[in-house]
């Protein structure tokens, strides 16, 4: 039994005007995003995905978690990563790859199969979604989905510089929307840099926040080589950080 409405898999259309380093363009600029709508996911589908996508080592890790909430978040994140990986590398068994954790707890793809070499992955999960982005490691990217509560929103906005508060005011966003934008920007660039929330949050200060083609575009004071694209959503705001000179075809991208 399946429920296809719960799963969305998209191949991102990326382009660059500048030379793509030493890798072939079609390899470097290939990325796949998998999103699981947890509100639509039924247990039978989840069980089928676990059996077909996760290997014994990953299932053993899941069973070691003592708390059901942590077990579920880990499972959903790994499933999203394996869905993205299987679509990114068609014809290859995703169970032959493993999503491990690096020294900063960042997800890392490991495998003896050359098809999975040089790939990076970014994972996010919230109360409503689990998502993963698979990309070439030479083209760093990161994602986040979140929808802060009212209490969280006040804490997120409390430490902002006056200049950033002014930027947000110019966009005419409410408290919760402003916090969602700032939070997913921080999280997605933190994942891209492999720093996460382990560094002072002020280092992620935006230099500009603009609305373009129905999405928000954030650029940074300290990381001018990156920008973050942010889509608002009723159940969660989605942020995608990518190299500043890389363009994403918005007509081919969908966010609920």
Q: What is the pLDDT along the chain (256 residues), one digit of tens a residue?
A: 457 789 999 999 999 988 778 888 888 999 999 999 999 999 999 999 999 999 999 999 999 998 988 999 999 999 999 999 999 999 999 999 999 999 999 999 999 888 898 999 999 999 999 999 999 999 999 999 999 998 899 999 998 999 999 999 999 999 999 999 999 999 999 999 999 888 888 999 999 999 998 899 999 999 999 999 999 999 999 999 999 999 999 887 888 7
pLDDT at 13: 92
Are residues 175 and 155 in contact, defined by beta-carbon separation less than 8 angstroms?
Answer: no
125 alpha carbon, distance to own chain's centre: 8
Listed residue (237, 243, 229) closest to 192, CA to CA: 243
| pLDDT at res. 1 | 45
Q: Residue 2's pLDDT is what?
A: 58
Tell me the angle at which helices 68-88 and 56-64 cross, rounded to the nearest 10 degrees.
160
C-alpha span between 74 and 72 (Å, rounded): 5
pTM of the model: 0.94
Three-class SS state of 237? strand
DSSP SS3 for 225: coil
CA angle 77, 203, 193 (to 5 degrees): 40
Distance CA 36, CA 32 (A): 13
What is the token pair recorded at 189?
A: 């660039």
For residue 118, give both structure tokens.
């040089």
Q: How many other C-beta atoms are found inside a 10 Å radius of the C-beta of residue 121?
A: 27
CA dist 7 and 129 (Å) reads 10
């Amino acid at each position: 039994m399946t429920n296809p409405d719960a799963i969305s898999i998209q191949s991102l259309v990326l382009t660059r005007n500048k030379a793509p380093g030493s890798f072939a363009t079609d390899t470097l600029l290939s990325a796949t995003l998998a999103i699981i709508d947890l509100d639509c996911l039924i247990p039978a589908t989840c069980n089928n995905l676990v059996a077909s996508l996760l290997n014994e080592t990953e299932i053993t890790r899941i069973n070691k978690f003592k708390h059901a909430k942590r077990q579920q978040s880990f499972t959903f994140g790994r499933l999203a990563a394996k869905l993205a990986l299987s679509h990114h590398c068609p014809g290859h068994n995703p169970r032959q790859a493993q999503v491990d954790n690096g020294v900063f707890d960042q997800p890392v793809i490991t495998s003896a199969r050359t098809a999975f070499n040089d790939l990076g992955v970014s994972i996010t999960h919230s109360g409503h979604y689990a998502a993963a982005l698979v990309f070439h490691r030479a083209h760093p990217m990161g994602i986040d989905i979140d929808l802060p509560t009212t209490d969280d929103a006040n804490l997120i906005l409390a430490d902002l510089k006056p200049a950033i508060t002014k930027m947000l005011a110019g966009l005419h966003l409410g408290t919760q929307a402003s916090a969602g934008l700032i939070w997913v920007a921080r999280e997605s660039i933190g994942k891209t840099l492999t720093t996460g929330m382990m560094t002072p949050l002020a280092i992620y200060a935006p230099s500009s926040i603009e609305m373009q083609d129905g999405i928000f575009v954030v650029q940074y004071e300290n990381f001018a080589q990156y920008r973050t694209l942010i889509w608002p959503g009723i159940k969660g705001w989605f942020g995608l950080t990518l190299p500043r000179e890389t363009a994403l075809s918005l007509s081919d991208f969908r966010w609920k």
